[in-house]
């Protein structure tokens, strides 16, 4: 298979404009003859569904939550980037493009990233028009903050609830289209397969989570906006329900999966407190604007802190190691996420971690409070400090926060071309579900930007180009392909219910998560990965022989939902390991300990690995086959990333 | 710690529910309330019993999915979401009663899970600004005073959890609806449609079977996002004016 990215010709700044002009259009009166399925109602899905309905397409929108407003995008805290240059500090479309390609450690497709930077400014206009209450300055204009990996202030925010406000904006646009009748909503409904007819995506099979009924939906195109797969690790900052099922099942139907091993570990999360832990809570990276990261210089003092003999406050200034500021004077506490995370791991591995488990570092606001006053800090971070206190019982105004890295985002995802189409014609992937814009590491505040760029400003054009070539005829859900897909889904569910083993789902998920975290997490190496592959296979075998499910088929059965998602995580986990083994270099969030610079930084091998690894499913038990999309850099010079 | 739980169990919408008593041990203070229920569920499943169904997703207090009525209070003893409640708020030996939201407009689906789609339909009736994608003016074209923007933000913080309805003896949805009316109505972008918006949303609210507001303030006292009663006053003003402008 040759992967054609369909990147348009011409200078980078003109590609999108030219491409838009070159694309076929569907006449306004004919749009109502096409049906589009949008799976997912997060930023990507809600914005796409609303925009397509406004254009006149008939849209069906699906989510597994009880309301589209509860998609996981709601939890994003920090902000959204846009190259508005309102601060007059030297920002531009080109700089946002450049920062994103560099931040991604030169493993993303230039043309996509440029387009993202280009439409970023429209996103802010759109959101403000919808009533998104972004933070403002006294003069009434929009305020900005800076975020990791950038030296300009280009991040727009709404308190510490940016994702919530952006999603509520998109949800309101979606709701308006539900009201006009152009969108039909299917909440508490989980897509379990894509249906392909004559080589094209023509619908989905989904389970009504309340009744258990398995239904088919036919359409002319299917959009997967189903988010990321960070929950493969069991513990992550993702919502409990976030899962890989839609993307993975599409993969098994022919959509290539790109760079599965690229995982982002976020540096500022609340550390794990015990076995009972079900998820990890992110403390927005924006905290690194004012908080200073440190650990004690000596292991002895760290040990005393861990046992509770002394407190952070009793460590003298000269005995503290502000390791990010010391190692990276130019970026200091604002180095990109992968760098910050790895450094936290290093100091903890060195025996200088704090907290009862030793797996934590301090994020200290004492200096900022002294400098700016408590009120200023409260205005900026009040709600984050509250969350922290609720969870840990400690007050960050008085004692430094404790943080540790946690799985947060997956850069890998379904391979898509410039039009966001997967390798299955008519099947698109938007938002975190695709692999396209962040390379091997995503910069803060750019996932929200990408989700909305894809949904509001890219897919409305791209889909027309495809649909214009499609006949209006609908495929009946009695078609054999639909019947087969329904039967398969039905069988799979019955199979799970009939294992009759002895252990509940979480037992297996926790085990998988631990293997993935230990061997395919912040640092990886060939031996560990080999071991992990075997372990994952063992867990999978154990799962299929010893899972215990209660409850029935035709009712709300949340354990069954979890089990069905875990089936896919268990398969995807293995592919992540294969991908991590194949990529015998370090880049961004993928850190192979065999490949580091003398200073412990990720060492890329551009000669051999400047490509996207896209995997093809070959059938049960068969190894997947990898295809390369070579990455060509014409506008950004590949350099060793340096944040010194 | 060791606890006694009295939990509402109901197989499905059409069946009768009842309280069932469970004993649970070895709960650490740092455990969240939902993790405590996770632990109970693991024990139930190991015994071959069906786990207690409850809604949850983000476990960060922002998605609005979690919705338990604990010891007579929506989301429990503190003004926070159920998922942000930790066991350090309880004592060893406590008995905890856990029920679903109870309101005609929120029918029970199973155990502690209710159907809150009425809220979505209220938003669909008018809880938006009518703009299409594209063709919007530059974001800085209309300056908005900082205090206005932040008041709108406060109202927009509503997570749509429904605790206000569960707290109200009339099961009124006024706090939820007024939060949206205030959020959009305060902004210049949303002002244009404010009259039509409030009328449509109120009509839908009534149609869904929510009760009338008798100003007891129970909603705001339990709202995890501290949505203020002043929003209800503002909404009443909009509604009053809208009736006259027609
Ligand atoms: C705690 C946290 C904070 C973050 N903060 C920021 C930030 O400050 N800035 C930033 O840019 N990014 C941030 N991110 C990342 C960002 O929030 C996500 O990458 C982004 O919101 C993903 O949006 P999405 O639309 O692709 O998917 P999601 O919002 O995850 O939506 C997925 C949708 O798909 C549906 N779905 C999934 N599978 C199925 C199925 N099988 N059937 C039916 N429906 C399905 C779900 O119901 C949901 O509606 C943060 C992430 C986390 C975890
Ligand atoms: S007003 Fe408060 S209690 Fe009511 S839905 Fe909104 S956040 Fe929940
Ligand atoms: S689970 Fe999201 S608010 Fe509680």
Q: Which residues contact A107 (CB under 8 A, 6 or more apart)?
A: A259, A262, A439, A440, A587, A588, A610, A612, A631
Q: Say yes or no: A494 and A365 in one domain.
A: no
The pLDDT score that the predictor gives to residue A482 is 98
Tens digit of each residue's pLDDT (9 = 90 or more) over B84-113: 999 999 999 999 999 999 999 999 999 999
| Mean pLDDT of the region A418-446 | 96
Pocket test for ligand 1, best of A38, A187, A209, A227 (most atoms within 8 A of CB): A227
Q: Report d(CA A343, CA A324) in Å as an integer.
A: 8
Q: Say yes or no: B127 and B217 in one domain.
A: yes
Tens digit of each residue's pLDDT (9 = 90 or more) over A529-541: 999 999 999 999 9
Q: How many residues does chain A have?
A: 644
Closest ligand (CA of A123): 1
The pLDDT score that the predictor gives to residue A286 is 81
SS3 state at A7: coil
Closest ligand (CA of B67): 3
Mean of all residue pLDDT scores within chain B: 96
SS3 state at A113: helix
Q: Report d(CA A365, CA A347) in Å as an integer.
A: 20
Q: Among the three residues A407, A436, A466, which one is the final residue of a domain in this structure?
A: A407
Strand partners, A221: A36
Is the pLDDT confidence value at A644 over 80?
no
Q: Say yes or no: B57 and B26 in one domain.
A: yes
Q: Say yes or no: B85 and B151 in one domain.
A: no
Q: In chain B, which among 121-180 make CB contacts under 8 A with chain A?
A: 123-134, 136-140, 142-146, 149-150, 152-153, 156-157, 159-160
The minimum CA-CA distance between A385 and chain B, rounded to whole Å, is 13
| Mean pLDDT of the region A299-320 | 94
Q: Say yes or no: B155 and B225 in one domain.
A: yes
Q: Report d(CA A601, CA A594) in Å as an integer.
A: 11
Structurally, chain B folds into a number of domains equal to 2
**Cross-chain residue pair B117–A129, CB shorter than 8 Å:** no
**Cross-chain residue pair B138–A175, CB shorter than 8 Å:** no
Q: Say yes or no: B103 and B121 in one domain.
A: no
Angle between helices A162-180 and A43-55 (to 10 degrees): 30
Q: Among the three residues A372, A407, A442, which one is the final residue of a domain in this structure?
A: A407
The minimum CA-CA distance between A74 and chain B, rounded to whole Å, is 6
Is the pLDDT confidence value at B246 over 70?
no
Q: Say yes or no: B76 and B173 in one domain.
A: no
Q: Report d(CA A195, CA A99) in Å as an integer.
A: 39
A107-111, A440-444, B224-228: segment of lowest average pLDDT? A440-444
Structurally, chain A folds into a number of domains equal to 2
Q: Say yes or no: A379 and A494 in one domain.
A: no
Q: Say yes or no: A396 and A290 in one domain.
A: yes
Q: Say yes or no: B127 and B87 in one domain.
A: no
Q: Are the CB atoms for A426 and A222 separated by under 8 Å?
A: yes
Mean of all residue pLDDT scores within chain A: 95
For B52, nearest residue in chain A (alpha carbons): A558
Q: Say yes or no: B161 and B142 in one domain.
A: yes
**Cross-chain residue pair A240–B56, CB shorter than 8 Å:** yes
CATH of the domain at B191: 1.10.1060.10
Tens digit of each residue's pLDDT (9 = 90 or more) over B201-223: 999 999 999 999 999 999 999 99
The pLDDT score that the predictor gives to residue B153 is 98
Residue A219 falls within a domain, yes or no?
no
**Cross-chain residue pair B39–A276, CB shorter than 8 Å:** yes
Local confidence band at B42 (pLDDT 50, 70, 90 cut-offs): very high
Q: Which residue has the tokens 């040990």?
A: A303
**Cross-chain residue pair A74–B62, CB shorter than 8 Å:** yes
For B128, nearest residue in chain A (alpha carbons): A172
Instruction: Give Dmax (Cα) for chain A.
Output: 75
| Mean pLDDT of the region B145-158 | 97
Q: Say yes or no: B122 and B84 in one domain.
A: no
Q: Among the three residues B109, B138, B154, which one is the final residue of a domain in this structure?
A: B109
| Mean pLDDT of the region A225-254 | 98
Question: Which domain covers residue A397, as residue numbers?
Answer: 266-407
Tens digit of each residue's pLDDT (9 = 90 or more) over A367-426: 999 999 999 999 888 888 988 998 888 999 999 999 999 999 999 999 999 999 999 999
Q: What is the pTM of this model?
A: 0.96
Q: Report d(CA A266, CA A282) in Å as an integer.
A: 8
Q: In chain A, which among 441-480 make CB contacts under 8 A with chain B?
A: 456-457, 460
Q: Say yes or no: A285 and A374 in one domain.
A: yes
CATH of the domain at A299: 3.90.700.10
In short, whether B59's Cβ falls inside 6 Å of ligand 3 is yes
For A550, nearest residue in chain B (alpha carbons): B50
Is the pLDDT confidence value at A445 over 80?
yes
Q: In chain B, which among 209-238 make CB contacts under 8 A with chain A?
A: none
Is the pLDDT confidence value at A11 over 60?
yes
Tens digit of each residue's pLDDT (9 = 90 or more) over A570-592: 999 999 999 999 999 999 999 99
| Mean pLDDT of the region A352-365 | 94
CATH of the domain at B97: 3.10.20.30
The pLDDT score that the predictor gives to residue A78 is 86
Residue A76 falls within a domain, yes or no?
no
Q: Say yes or no: B61 and B102 in one domain.
A: yes
Q: Are the CB atoms for B171 and B199 separated by under 8 Å?
A: no
Tens digit of each residue's pLDDT (9 = 90 or more) over A175-186: 999 999 999 999
SS3 state at B179: helix
Active site residue A306: no
Is the pLDDT confidence value at B69 over 80?
yes
Residue A120 falls within a domain, yes or no?
no
**Candidate from A86, A130, A273 with C-beta closest to B129:** A130
Distance B81 CA to ligand 3 centre (A): 7
CATH of the domain at A592: 1.20.58.100
Question: Chains A, B: CB contacts under 8 A, how many?
Answer: 228
Q: Among the three residues B77, B109, B141, which one is the final residue of a domain in this structure?
A: B109
Is the pLDDT confidence value at A289 over 90?
no
The closest of B220, B34, B10 to B99, measured between CA atoms, is B10
Q: Please give the sequence-ordered ranges of beta strands (E in DSSP) within B43-123, or none if there are none.
A: 69-70, 73-74, 95-99, 108-110, 113-114
Question: Which domain covers residue B22, as residue numbers?
Answer: 3-109
The pLDDT score that the predictor gives to residue A292 is 96
Q: Say yes or no: A395 and A289 in one domain.
A: yes
Q: Name the percent of chain B lying above pLDDT 70.
A: 99
* Backbone conformation region of residue A131, classed left if phi is above 0, alpha if psi is from -120 to 50, else beta: left
**Cross-chain residue pair B187–A131, CB shorter than 8 Å:** yes
Q: Are the CB atoms for A549 and A226 separated by under 8 Å?
A: no
For B83, nearest residue in chain A (alpha carbons): A391
Q: Where is B165: in which H helix or E strand?
A: helix B163-167
**Candidate from A130, A134, A168 with C-beta closest to B131:** A130
Q: Among the three residues B54, B80, B109, which one is the final residue of a domain in this structure?
A: B109
Is residue B187 less than 8 Å (CB to CB) from chain A? Answer: yes
Residue A643 falls within a domain, yes or no?
no
Tens digit of each residue's pLDDT (9 = 90 or more) over A147-160: 776 889 999 999 88
Q: In chain A, which among 315-374 make CB contacts under 8 A with chain B?
A: none
Q: Report d(CA A176, CA A465) in Å as an integer.
A: 26
Q: Are the CB atoms for A60 and A111 separated by under 8 Å?
A: no
Per-residue exposure over A135-154, b if at least 16 CB sit within 10 Å of its own CB, e if not: bbeeeebbbbbbbbbbebbb
Is residue B58 less than 8 Å (CB to CB) from chain A? Answer: yes
The pLDDT score that the predictor gives to residue B245 is 67
Choose, from A207, A327, A337, A342, the residue flagged as catalytic.
A337
Q: Among the three residues A342, A372, A407, which one is the final residue of a domain in this structure?
A: A407
**Cross-chain residue pair A158–B132, CB shorter than 8 Å:** no
Virtual torsion, Cα A248, A252, A254, A260, nearest 10 deg: 40
Residue to mutate among B62, B67, B193, with most A CBs inside 10 A, is B62
| Token couple for A118 | 């280009």
Local confidence band at B162 (pLDDT 50, 70, 90 cut-offs): very high
Q: Say yes or no: B132 and B214 in one domain.
A: yes
Q: Name the percent of chain A lying above pLDDT 90.
A: 90
Q: Report d(CA A552, CA B43) in Å as an integer.
A: 18
| Mean pLDDT of the region A200-205 | 98
Q: Report d(CA A219, CA A197) in Å as an integer.
A: 11
Residue A473 falls within a domain, yes or no?
no
């Amino acid at each position: 298979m040759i992967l054609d990215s369909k990147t348009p010709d011409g200078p980078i700044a003109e590609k999108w404009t030219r491409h838009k002009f070159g694309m076929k259009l569907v006449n306004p009166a004919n749009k109502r003859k096409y049906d589009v399925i949008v799976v997912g109602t997060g930023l990507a899905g809600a914005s796409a569904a609303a925009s397509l309905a406004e254009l006149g397409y008939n849209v069906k929108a699906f989510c597994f939550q009880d309301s589209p407003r509860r998609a996981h995008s709601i939890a994003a805290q920090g902000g959204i980037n846009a190259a508005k240059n309102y601060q007059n500090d030297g920002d531009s479309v080109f700089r946002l493009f450049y920062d994103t390609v560099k931040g991604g450690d030169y493993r993303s497709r230039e043309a996509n990233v440029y387009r993202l930077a280009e439409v970023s400014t429209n996103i802010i206009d759109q959101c403000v028009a919808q009533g998104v209450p972004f933070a403002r300055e006294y003069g009434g204009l929009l305020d900005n903050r800076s975020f990791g990996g950038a030296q300009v202030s280009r991040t727009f925010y709404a308190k510490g609830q940016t994702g919530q406000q952006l999603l509520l904006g998109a949800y309101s646009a979606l709701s308006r289209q539900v009201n006009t009748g152009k969108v039909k909503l299917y909440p508490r409904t989980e897509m379990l397969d894509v249906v392909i007819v004559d080589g094209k995506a023509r619908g989905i099979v989904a389970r009504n989570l309340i009744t258990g009924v398995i239904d088919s939906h036919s359409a002319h195109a299917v959009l997967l906006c189903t988010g990321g797969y960070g929950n493969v690790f069991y513990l992550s900052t993702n919502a409990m329900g976030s899962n890989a099922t839609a993307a993975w099942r599409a993969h098994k139907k022919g959509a290539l999966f790109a760079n599965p091993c690229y995982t982002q570990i976020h540096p500022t999360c609340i550390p794990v407190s015990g076995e009972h832990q079900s998820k990890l809570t992110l403390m927005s990276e924006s905290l690194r604007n004012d908080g200073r990261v440190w650990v004690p210089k000596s292991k002895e003092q760290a040990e005393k802190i861990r046992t509770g003999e002394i407190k952070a406050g009793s460590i003298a200034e000269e005995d503290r190691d502000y390791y990010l500021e010391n190692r990276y004077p130019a970026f200091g506490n604002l180095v990109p996420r992968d760098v910050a995370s790895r450094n936290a791991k290093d100091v903890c591995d060195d025996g200088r971690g704090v907290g009862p488990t030793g797996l934590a570092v301090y994020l200290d606001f004492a200096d900022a409070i002294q400098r700016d006053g408590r009120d200023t800090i409260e205005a900026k971070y009040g709600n984050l400090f509250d969350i922290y206190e609720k969870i840990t019982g400690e007050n960050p105004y008085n004692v430094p926060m404790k943080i540790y890295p946690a799985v947060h985002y997956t850069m890998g995802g379904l391979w898509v071309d410039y039009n966001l189409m997967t390798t299955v014609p008519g099947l698109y992937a938007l938002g975190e579900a695709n692999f396209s814009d962040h390379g091997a590491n995503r910069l803060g505040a750019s996932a929200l930007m990408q989700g909305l760029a894809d949904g509001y400003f890219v897919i409305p054009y791209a889909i027309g180009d495809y649909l214009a070539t499609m006949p209006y005829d609908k495929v009946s859900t009695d078609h054999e392909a639909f019947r087969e897909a329904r039967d398969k889904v039905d069988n799979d569910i019955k199979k799970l219910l009939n294992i009759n083993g002895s252990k509940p789902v979480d037992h297996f998920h926790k085990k998988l998560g631990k293997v993935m975290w230990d061997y395919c997490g912040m640092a990886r190496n060939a031996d560990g990965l080999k071991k992990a592959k075997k372990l994952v296979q063992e867990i999978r075998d154990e799962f299929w022989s010893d899972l215990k499910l209660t409850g029935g088929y035709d009712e709300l059965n949340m354990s069954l939902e979890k089990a069905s998602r875990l089936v896919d995580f268990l398969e995807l986990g293995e592919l992540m390991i294969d991908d991590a083994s194949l990529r015998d270099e370090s880049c961004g969030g993928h850190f192979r300990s065999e490949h580091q610079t003398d200073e412990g930084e990720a060492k890329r091998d551009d000669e051999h690995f400047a490509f996207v690894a896209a995997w093809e499913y070959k059938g049960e038990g068969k190894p997947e086959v990898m295809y390369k999309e070579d990455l060509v850099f014409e506008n950004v010079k590949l350099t060793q990333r340096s944040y010194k | 710690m060791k606890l006694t739980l009295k939990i509402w169990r109901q197989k499905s919408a059409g069946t009768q529910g009842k309280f069932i008593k469970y004993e649970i041990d070895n709960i650490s203070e740092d455990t969240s309330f939902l993790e405590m229920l996770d632990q109970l569920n693991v024990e139930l499943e190991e015994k071959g019993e069906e786990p207690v169904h409850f809604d949850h997703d983000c476990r960060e207090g922002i998605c609005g999915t979690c919705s338990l009525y604990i010891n007579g209070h929506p989301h429990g003893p503190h003004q926070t979401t159920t998922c942000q409640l930790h066991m350090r708020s309880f004592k060893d030996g406590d008995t905890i009663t856990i029920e679903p939201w109870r309101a005609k407009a929120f029918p029970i689906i199973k155990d502690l899970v209710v159907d809150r789609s009425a809220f979505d339909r209220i938003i669909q009736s008018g809880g938006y600004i009518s703009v299409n994608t594209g063709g919007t003016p530059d974001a800085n074209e209309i300056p908005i005073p900082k205090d206005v923007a932040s008041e709108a933000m406060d109202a927009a913080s509503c997570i749509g959890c429904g605790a206000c309805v569960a707290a109200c003896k009339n099961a009124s949805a006024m706090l939820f609806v007024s939060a949206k009316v205030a959020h959009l109505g305060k902004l210049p972008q949303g002002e244009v449609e404010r009259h039509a918006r409030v009328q449509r949303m109120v009509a839908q609210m009534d149609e869904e079977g929510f009760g009338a507001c008798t100003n007891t303030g129970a909603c705001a006292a339990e709202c995890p996002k501290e949505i203020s009663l002043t929003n209800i006053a503002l909404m009443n003003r909009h509604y009053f004016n809208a009736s006259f402008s027609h």
